[in-house]
Amino acid sequence: MATIYDVAERAGVSPATVSKALANRQHVSAATRARVVAAAAELAFIPNPIARHLSNRRTGVVGFLIPYVPDYLFSDPFLLEFIRGMADNLAEQDFHLLLAMPRPSGESGSDPYRRLRQGMVDGAIVLESDGGSGPAAALADQTYPWITLGYRREDDGSSSRNLIHADDYGGALRLTRHLQSLGHTRIGVISGPHRLMGALEERLRGYRAAVAGTGQRLDPTLLTYGDFTPESGYRAVDQLLDLDAPPTAIFALNDRMALGAISRIHERGLRVPADLSVAGFDDVQAAALAVPPLTTVRQPGFDMGLRAATLLGRLIRQELAQFESEVLPTEVIVRASTAAPAPPIRR
Amino acid sequence: MATIYDVAERAGVSPATVSKALANRQHVSAATRARVVAAAAELAFIPNPIARHLSNRRTGVVGFLIPYVPDYLFSDPFLLEFIRGMADNLAEQDFHLLLAMPRPSGESGSDPYRRLRQGMVDGAIVLESDGGSGPAAALADQTYPWITLGYRREDDGSSSRNLIHADDYGGALRLTRHLQSLGHTRIGVISGPHRLMGALEERLRGYRAAVAGTGQRLDPTLLTYGDFTPESGYRAVDQLLDLDAPPTAIFALNDRMALGAISRIHERGLRVPADLSVAGFDDVQAAALAVPPLTTVRQPGFDMGLRAATLLGRLIRQELAQFESEVLPTEVIVRASTAAPAPPIRR
DNA sequence: CGATATTACGAAACCGGTTTCGGAATTTCC
DNA sequence: GGAAATTCCGAAACCGGTTTCGTAATATCG
């Protein structure tokens, strides 16, 4: 591997001049620059990034912290899209992406985020799934900038900064309105655990707003709680259909629960959407392949990762001190699992 | 940030001694070591990894190269499991994981693997999807060790080293035998493009071996070609069912095509598995949620990542010069989409 | 043409560790 | 008790860049 000293010798200049010439800085004559560039090319000189970083006091690495919430993680098709969006944009800004994934909580082992505390990164992007106490806490005392992908509340209740998330609220609102526009007035919901994650909390808020928008009072019996898994969607169907006044549509706050619900609905001898409409949220791969294909809400995973990377780069370069939370649009994807309610013959 | 000089001063020794003491090396008295350790603790000293790497000529970073094959990538639920398996194990070995994902082929831009050529990594893991000419080529002239996750043939046709993959052949073989044991003798196949990716080629080989095992001659009309997408599975169904002697079971070499096939089978008024059995390969999330749940083959993504990381670590530390390809077991998952063929009443 | 302003270049310091090697201090051995 | 062997420790070099700052060379100006 050629070093800057080799290049300097070949070009007949000092290493300092080589450094300046190759960085295209001032105070180097055109003739000298040309000689240096030629010498560097001949030697196939590639500056050692480690040495450069030591001098720069910058590492060129951005950390990506993922909480260990297995169900969320494995169920979330967007994680890859996030990563792709980030990696794509970070490469452009000349950053690396360093993954930090903690182990399953059982095996504590060493601090999963240790490397991020060693001054090994210039900034970080944190995926927050539970609204706060997770990995973000691990970065609270760090001096570098970081961005939250998701929702997070400050301890004092104030709204957070440096936040990027999808319009979960708006997506749920519009999806509920889609159901309403088909004629549904009793729409059951399969939500997450009572102690909600940020995103699902927002989705539920969207549903509530849509119901309130029609002047209806929210019927609490239409609100069931799952745990993100298909099985919990499956069980919620029984709870909803055994009501005295069952819903004509079910809105599951994620696709997996929606797919579980469809499966149970079929078992009970009902058809989707003829007897009961079902909608989800996420637009996972399975949604389009389901029988029937699932009406759902898509969020722009790639763009979220891209925006996070863009903004983090600006924070690192101090072109920006901070930003208010940035909300990316969601899109209602209408497929075949939703239709007008059946005339109220059967109950 | 405290440096080694600060610690040295506080402990009343030289930086060299601090370095040795903290690295637990010989030639440091117990008393001195204790003083150094105490001083380091008081100052919350964390060695600067960049400086350390510069001196060590090691970066502590391992690259992960992903080819840009969007369909493969986005459809592959194992990518995350790979990554998790790798990240998990690499963290234990004190390595970082650096992602290198090229852009969509249109936007050439800068060399997506540039960082991996700059001596920025100590080793790499390459995800190969097309049997050879992809990212592995980018590393051919590098001096550090790297491992292929997938299949790859040497140019001279010899079998490759440093290869890790699942037992695609065996999985397909056993799945086909499962269908045969149910009584199926005409099993249609939905394969990949004629120019196959490594893994699908192996799966097809497994199918062929199972058919040959019964003494049957392979009927070429039962072999159709898709392109990994559900739509191609959908279309393949028509081709297979319109045969003079249609199959009683369909084995799609990936789950997505299997799910597309099921969808088309339903449309044609047939039932799965009563009229036609369907099986896939991969065990994607959607497989378990499908109607009916899909019989398929699962591969150990996490373990593959973990093994890759383990072996790469040993290659980097030169505890190992190379290894023959390592094959991890696959498992047939029998669900409700396969059953005994219907008695040959309807044709 | 001489004084001044500007530019080009390089020596040296620096980033923060690790490692080599030599000398001093201590221990071992006869 | 003195020679030899061993142990501790630190000065200095090194990894490979960047940056500062002083000086030499050149350009500008009256």
* Full DSSP string of B197-223: -HHHHHHHHHHHHHHHHTTPPP-GGGE
CA distance A297 to A310: 25
Residues of B in contact with A55 (CB under 8 A): none
Q: Which nucleotide is nearest to A15 (CA to C1')?
A: C10
Could you tell me where the beta strands, DSSP code E, fall in B35-120?
Answer: 61-65, 96-100
Residue A347's pLDDT is 47
Alpha carbon B93 to chain centroid, angstroms: 20
Chain D: bases < 7 Å from a protein Cβ: 7-12, 14-20
Considering only residues A221 and A342, tell me which one the structure prediction assigns the higher pLDDT: A221
Interface of A with B in 212-231 (CB under 8 A): 230
Residues of B in contact with A260 (CB under 8 A): 289
**pLDDT tier at A99, thresholds 50, 70, 90:** confident
pLDDT over 70 (residue A100): yes
Output the tens digit of pLDDT for each of chain B's 347 residues: 799 999 999 999 999 999 999 998 888 999 999 999 999 999 999 999 899 999 988 888 899 988 766 555 445 667 888 888 898 888 888 888 888 877 665 454 556 666 666 678 899 999 876 655 566 667 777 788 999 988 887 665 556 788 999 999 999 999 999 999 999 999 999 998 876 668 889 999 999 999 999 999 999 999 999 988 889 999 999 999 999 999 999 999 999 999 999 999 999 999 999 999 999 999 987 888 888 899 999 999 899 999 999 999 999 988 888 888 899 999 999 999 999 998 765 54
Contact: A119, B1; criterion CB under 8 Å:
yes
- Neighbouring residues of B343: CB distance < 8 A, sequence distance ≥ 6: none
Residue B333 phi/psi, 5-degree rounding, is -110, 110
Q: Are B126 and B136 in contact (CB under 8 A)?
A: yes
| Among candidate residues B86, B85, B92, B146, the one with its CA nearest the CA of residue B116 | B146
CB pairs under 8 A between A and B: 133
Provide the whole-model pTM: 0.86
Considering only residues A159 and B210, tell me which one the structure prediction assigns the higher pLDDT: B210
What does the pLDDT look like over A18-65, one tens digit per residue? Answer: 999 999 988 899 999 999 999 999 999 999 989 999 998 888 889 998
What does the pLDDT look like over A164-215, one tens digit per residue? Answer: 999 999 999 999 999 999 999 999 999 988 766 688 899 999 999 999 999 9
Q: State what percent of residues in chain A have pLDDT above 70.
A: 86
Residue A61 phi/psi, 5-degree rounding, is -125, 140
For residue B117, give the chain A residue with the closest CA.
A46
Considering only residues A184 and A301, tell me which one the structure prediction assigns the higher pLDDT: A184
pLDDT over 60 (residue A244): yes
Interface of A with B in 149-208 (CB under 8 A): none
Residue A58 touches partner B, C-beta closer than 8 Å: no
In the structure, how far is the CA atom of residue A56 from the C1' atom of nucleotide D18, in angstroms?
7
In the structure, how far is the CA atom of residue A8 from the C1' atom of nucleotide D18, in angstroms?
15
Residue A46 touches partner B, C-beta closer than 8 Å: yes
In the structure, how far is the CA atom of residue A59 from the C1' atom of nucleotide C10, in angstroms?
28
- Tell me B282's DSSP state: B
Residue B337's pLDDT is 97
- Tell me A159's DSSP state: B
Beta strands at A146-150 and A123-128: parallel, antiparallel or unpaired: parallel
For residue A107, give the chain B residue with the closest CA.
B88
pLDDT over 90 (residue A242): yes
Q: Which nucleotide is nearest to B23 (CA to C1')?
A: C18
Strand C close to B4 by CB, under 7 A:
yes
| Among candidate residues A209, A197, A203, A241, the one with its CA nearest the CA of residue A222 | A241
Q: What is the 3-state secondary structure of A104-156?
A: CCCCCCCCCCHHHHCCCCCEEEEEECCCCCCHHHHHCCCCCCEEEEECCECCC
- Provide the residue type at B321 as one letter: A
Considering only residues A335 and A101, tell me which one the structure prediction assigns the higher pLDDT: A335
In this predicted structure, which of A71-80, A257-266, B308-317 has the lowest mean pLDDT? A71-80
Q: Which nucleotide is nearest to B20 (CA to C1')?
A: C18
Q: Kindly report the nearest CA distance between residue B121 and chain A, in angstroms.
A: 10
Give the CA distances from residue A98 to residues A21, B59, B109, B267, B312, in Å, rounded to whole numbers and listed in that order.
31, 13, 22, 46, 18
Q: What is the 3-state secondary structure of A309-344?
A: HHHHHHHHCCCCCCCCCEEECCEEECCCCCCCCCCC
CA distance B40 to B42: 5
Residue B291's pLDDT is 82
Residue B44 touches partner A, C-beta closer than 8 Å: no
Q: Which nucleotide is nearest to B19 (CA to C1')?
A: C18
Average model confidence (pLDDT) for chain A? 87
